[in-house]
Each structure stands twice: as structure tokens, then as C-alpha cells.
Amino acid sequence: MIADPPSPCVRVCEIDKARAQCRGCHRTLDEIARWPYADAAGKQAILRAAALRQSESVRSI
């Protein structure tokens, strides 16, 4: 059984319109909306996708 991970929200809630994601947690609007309803596996998938986007945005700087 996968533990339910905590929210990745860092209270920097600003949407980067060019990237269509939050500048703080790197989740998309859809992922932010789905988070409260996702099971642990779904939340883990969201976290992996957000981490990938974060690493891609750091590389593009």
C-alpha cells in the first residue's frame, strides 16, 4: 500500500501562462484540481510529473 503523500503546495500560487503550470509546485491546473480526489497512487503520479516539469524548467534557464 502506498502512503498518501502531502500536498506539494509551497504557497507560491502563481500560474505561469506560458508553461500552464504553477510557478511554486509545478502542477498544472488540472492536477491541482484533481489532487484532493486522487488516491495515493494518483498523487504520486502527479508528483512525478511535476518534478519532471520542474527539472525541465530549471534546465531551460
Regarding pTM above 0.95, the answer is no
Cell of 2: 502506498
d(CA 40, CA 1) in angstroms, rounded, equals 9
- Per-residue pLDDT tens digits for 15-30: 999 999 999 999 999 9
d(CA 2, CA 24) in angstroms, rounded, equals 25
- Domain annotation covers residue 51: yes
- Domain annotation covers residue 39: yes
SS3 at position 41: helix
Q: Is the pLDDT of residue 60 over 90?
A: no
Where in 8-56 does DSSP place strands (E)?
15-16, 21-22
Please count the structural domains in the chain: 1
Cell of 54: 520542474
- Domain annotation covers residue 37: yes
